[in-house]
Structure 1
Amino acid sequence: MAVEYFTLVCDDVPNDVVLIAPGARPLDVAQVVRRLTGLSLWRSKVLVDQAPAVILNGMPEETAEIAVTALRDAGAQAEVRQQPESDSPGPVA
Protein backbone atom coordinates (compact mmCIF):
# COMPACT_ATOMS: atom_id res chain seq x y z
CA MET A 1 0.00 0.00 0.00
CA ALA A 2 1.47 3.33 -1.06
CA VAL A 3 1.36 6.35 1.22
CA GLU A 4 -0.01 9.49 -0.40
CA TYR A 5 0.63 13.06 0.71
CA PHE A 6 -1.73 15.96 0.19
CA THR A 7 -1.32 19.65 0.84
CA LEU A 8 -4.57 21.29 1.85
CA VAL A 9 -5.17 24.88 0.83
CA CYS A 10 -7.58 26.69 3.12
CA ASP A 11 -9.15 30.07 2.55
CA ASP A 12 -9.10 30.88 6.25
CA VAL A 13 -5.83 30.37 8.09
CA PRO A 14 -6.33 29.69 11.82
CA ASN A 15 -5.48 32.63 14.05
CA ASP A 16 -4.52 33.05 17.69
CA VAL A 17 -5.66 35.89 19.91
CA VAL A 18 -2.66 37.01 21.96
CA LEU A 19 -2.92 39.22 25.04
CA ILE A 20 0.27 41.26 25.08
CA ALA A 21 -0.35 43.41 28.18
CA PRO A 22 -3.41 43.89 30.41
CA GLY A 23 -3.05 47.66 30.64
CA ALA A 24 -4.27 49.77 33.57
CA ARG A 25 -7.48 47.77 34.19
CA PRO A 26 -6.52 44.09 34.51
CA LEU A 27 -9.76 43.10 36.22
CA ASP A 28 -11.82 44.51 33.33
CA VAL A 29 -9.60 42.58 30.92
CA ALA A 30 -10.05 39.42 33.03
CA GLN A 31 -13.82 39.80 32.73
CA VAL A 32 -13.53 40.01 28.94
CA VAL A 33 -11.24 36.95 28.93
CA ARG A 34 -13.85 35.16 31.02
CA ARG A 35 -16.59 35.95 28.47
CA LEU A 36 -14.39 34.89 25.55
CA THR A 37 -13.05 31.64 27.01
CA GLY A 38 -15.68 30.48 29.50
CA LEU A 39 -13.04 30.21 32.23
CA SER A 40 -13.77 31.19 35.82
CA LEU A 41 -12.96 34.76 36.82
CA TRP A 42 -10.08 33.54 38.97
CA ARG A 43 -8.52 31.53 36.11
CA SER A 44 -9.08 34.43 33.73
CA LYS A 45 -7.27 36.76 36.14
CA VAL A 46 -4.35 34.31 36.38
CA LEU A 47 -4.17 34.16 32.57
CA VAL A 48 -4.20 37.96 32.34
CA ASP A 49 -1.43 38.20 34.95
CA GLN A 50 0.70 35.81 32.85
CA ALA A 51 0.63 38.09 29.78
CA PRO A 52 1.82 37.73 27.11
CA ALA A 53 -0.49 34.76 26.69
CA VAL A 54 -2.58 33.11 23.98
CA ILE A 55 -6.23 33.66 24.89
CA LEU A 56 -7.91 31.89 21.96
CA ASN A 57 -6.31 29.35 19.66
CA GLY A 58 -7.20 28.42 16.07
CA MET A 59 -9.99 30.94 15.49
CA PRO A 60 -11.26 32.24 12.14
CA GLU A 61 -9.90 35.71 11.35
CA GLU A 62 -13.23 37.51 11.79
CA THR A 63 -13.84 35.95 15.22
CA ALA A 64 -10.27 36.70 16.30
CA GLU A 65 -10.62 40.36 15.28
CA ILE A 66 -13.82 40.68 17.31
CA ALA A 67 -12.09 39.19 20.36
CA VAL A 68 -9.11 41.56 19.98
CA THR A 69 -11.47 44.53 19.72
CA ALA A 70 -13.21 43.47 22.95
CA LEU A 71 -9.87 43.14 24.74
CA ARG A 72 -8.69 46.53 23.48
CA ASP A 73 -11.96 48.15 24.56
CA ALA A 74 -11.22 46.87 28.08
CA GLY A 75 -7.81 48.57 27.99
CA ALA A 76 -5.56 45.67 27.01
CA GLN A 77 -2.95 45.40 24.31
CA ALA A 78 -3.86 42.45 22.11
CA GLU A 79 -3.26 41.23 18.60
CA VAL A 80 -4.22 38.55 16.10
CA ARG A 81 -1.43 36.22 15.00
CA GLN A 82 -1.72 33.73 12.18
CA GLN A 83 -0.72 30.22 13.12
CA PRO A 84 2.37 29.07 11.26
CA GLU A 85 1.80 26.56 8.52
CA SER A 86 3.29 23.14 9.04
CA ASP A 87 6.31 22.46 6.81
CA SER A 88 5.56 18.83 6.15
CA PRO A 89 2.12 17.41 5.58
CA GLY A 90 1.29 14.15 7.28
CA PRO A 91 0.59 10.94 5.43
CA VAL A 92 -2.90 10.12 4.28
CA ALA A 93 -3.84 6.48 4.56
Structure 2
Amino acid sequence: MADEYFLLVCDDVPHDVVLTDPGTRTLDVVHVIRRLTGLSLWHSKVLAVQVPAVILAGVPQEDAESAVTALRDAGAQAEARQQPEPDLLKP
Protein backbone atom coordinates (compact mmCIF):
# COMPACT_ATOMS: atom_id res chain seq x y z
CA MET A 1 0.00 0.00 0.00
CA ALA A 2 1.44 3.36 -1.02
CA ASP A 3 1.71 6.22 1.43
CA GLU A 4 -0.12 9.37 0.43
CA TYR A 5 0.72 12.84 1.67
CA PHE A 6 -1.53 15.85 1.53
CA LEU A 7 -0.25 19.41 1.73
CA LEU A 8 -2.76 21.72 3.34
CA VAL A 9 -2.63 25.32 2.22
CA CYS A 10 -3.68 27.72 4.94
CA ASP A 11 -4.03 31.48 4.94
CA ASP A 12 -2.43 31.70 8.36
CA VAL A 13 1.08 30.29 8.48
CA PRO A 14 2.18 29.44 12.05
CA HIS A 15 4.71 31.74 13.69
CA ASP A 16 7.18 31.38 16.53
CA VAL A 17 7.83 34.14 19.07
CA VAL A 18 11.57 34.31 19.76
CA LEU A 19 13.09 36.29 22.62
CA THR A 20 16.47 37.60 21.47
CA ASP A 21 17.42 39.86 24.42
CA PRO A 22 15.67 40.28 27.78
CA GLY A 23 16.98 43.82 28.21
CA THR A 24 17.57 45.47 31.55
CA ARG A 25 14.10 44.90 33.03
CA THR A 26 14.40 41.12 33.24
CA LEU A 27 11.80 40.72 35.98
CA ASP A 28 9.16 42.52 33.88
CA VAL A 29 10.01 40.28 30.93
CA VAL A 30 9.73 37.19 33.14
CA HIS A 31 6.22 38.24 34.18
CA VAL A 32 5.19 38.76 30.55
CA ILE A 33 6.58 35.33 29.60
CA ARG A 34 4.67 33.80 32.49
CA ARG A 35 1.44 35.48 31.40
CA LEU A 36 1.91 34.40 27.76
CA THR A 37 2.90 30.80 28.40
CA GLY A 38 1.32 29.87 31.72
CA LEU A 39 4.66 28.53 32.93
CA SER A 40 5.86 28.85 36.50
CA LEU A 41 7.90 31.86 37.55
CA TRP A 42 11.05 29.73 37.67
CA HIS A 43 10.58 28.28 34.16
CA SER A 44 9.75 31.74 32.81
CA LYS A 45 13.01 33.09 34.28
CA VAL A 46 14.96 30.23 32.69
CA LEU A 47 13.48 31.15 29.28
CA ALA A 48 14.26 34.82 29.82
CA VAL A 49 17.94 34.33 30.59
CA GLN A 50 18.75 31.62 28.03
CA VAL A 51 18.39 33.57 24.81
CA PRO A 52 17.55 33.09 22.03
CA ALA A 53 14.50 31.29 23.37
CA VAL A 54 11.29 30.29 21.62
CA ILE A 55 8.54 31.63 23.87
CA LEU A 56 5.55 30.54 21.77
CA ALA A 57 5.61 28.07 18.89
CA GLY A 58 3.12 27.59 16.09
CA VAL A 59 0.77 30.44 16.94
CA PRO A 60 -1.23 32.54 14.46
CA GLN A 61 0.37 35.75 13.20
CA GLU A 62 -1.94 38.03 15.22
CA ASP A 63 -1.10 36.24 18.47
CA ALA A 64 2.61 36.29 17.66
CA GLU A 65 2.57 40.01 16.95
CA SER A 66 0.70 40.81 20.15
CA ALA A 67 3.15 38.68 22.16
CA VAL A 68 6.11 40.46 20.56
CA THR A 69 4.53 43.82 21.40
CA ALA A 70 4.01 42.77 25.03
CA LEU A 71 7.63 41.62 25.32
CA ARG A 72 8.94 44.83 23.73
CA ASP A 73 6.78 46.93 26.07
CA ALA A 74 8.50 45.13 28.97
CA GLY A 75 11.91 46.14 27.61
CA ALA A 76 12.90 42.98 25.74
CA GLN A 77 13.88 42.43 22.14
CA ALA A 78 11.70 39.81 20.47
CA GLU A 79 10.59 38.86 16.99
CA ALA A 80 7.94 36.78 15.29
CA ARG A 81 9.39 34.26 12.88
CA GLN A 82 7.39 32.40 10.28
CA GLN A 83 7.76 28.65 10.61
CA PRO A 84 9.33 27.01 7.57
CA GLU A 85 6.99 25.00 5.41
CA PRO A 86 7.60 21.26 5.60
CA ASP A 87 8.98 19.76 2.42
CA LEU A 88 6.86 16.64 2.15
CA LEU A 89 7.61 16.05 -1.49
CA LYS A 90 11.25 15.00 -0.97
CA PRO A 91 11.87 11.34 -0.16
Cα offset for 1:5?
Answer: 2.8
Find the aligned partners of 2:26 and 2:6 in 1 and give their Cα distance. 45
Please tell me the residue identity of whatever aligns with 1:27.
L
Distance in 1 separating the partners of 2:4 and 2:56? 33
> When the two structures are superposed, what TM-score results if normalisation uses the length of structure 2?
0.92
Structure 1 vs Structure 2: percent identity of aligned residues? 74
Cα deviation, residue 63, structure 1 = 0.5
For the pair 1:7 / 2:41, whether they are aligned, the reply is no
Residue-pair matches, total: 90
- Runs (4 or more) in structure 1 with deviation over 3 Å come to none
What is the Cα deviation at residue 88 of structure 1? 1.2
Whole-angstrom CA distance in 1 between matches of 2:73 and 2:61: 18
Alignment gaps of 5+ in structure 2: none
Deviation of the 1:6 alpha carbon = 2.0
8 Å Cα contact 2:18-2:52 kept in structure 1: yes
Q: CA shift at 1:7, angstroms?
A: 1.8
Q: Is the 8 A contact 2:5 2:88 kept in 1?
A: no
The answer to whether structure 1 residue 21 and structure 2 residue 18 are counterparts is: no
The equivalent residue for 2:80 is 80
RMSD: 1.5
Counterpart mapping for 1:1-93 below 5 A:
1-88=1-88
Q: Displacement, 1:2?
A: 4.0
User: Please, which runs of 5 or more residues in structure 1 have no aligned partner?
Assistant: none
Cα distance in 2, alignment partners of residues 87 and 4 from structure 1:
14
State the shift of 1:45 in Å: 0.6
- 1:8 positional shift: 1.2
